[in-house]
Amino acid sequence: MIEKIIGIIVILMAVRAFITKNMVERVLYINVIDFGLSALIAIYINTPFGFIVGSTFFITSTISSNAIAYSFKLLKKDFEVKK
């Protein structure tokens, strides 16, 4: 049951990522997809290796989302200075 709920959320976020024109919103939707996929990997592959793969995907998703947030912060500073 939980796999279906997470799958539906991932599909909805994928559709929203394709529809939206705002880059910041698109990155947020893709970030939700990343975290949803890591949860699906960990739940679906019910072995220690599945846990390792899901954990690795989760950690790399977290690092990438932090890098994206930091980049947006720097871009915001650049736009504020130019105004």
Q: How far apart are CA 56 and CA 37, in angstroms?
A: 11
Q: How far apart are CA 82 and CA 69, in angstroms?
A: 20
In this prediction, residue 78 carries a pLDDT of 61
| All residues at 6 or more sequence positions from 55 whose CB lies less than 8 Å from its CB, including other chains | 38, 42
- What residues does each domain of the chain span? 2-82
Q: What is the mean pLDDT of residues 54-82?
A: 76
Beta-strand runs (E) in 1-83: none
pTM above 0.75, yes or no: no
Check whether 13 has a pLDDT greater than 70: yes
pLDDT in tens, 18-52: 998 887 788 888 888 888 887 888 788 878 887 88
Check whether 64 has a pLDDT greater than 60: yes
In this prediction, residue 80 carries a pLDDT of 60
* 18 within 8 A of 33, measured Cβ to Cβ: no
In this prediction, residue 24 carries a pLDDT of 76
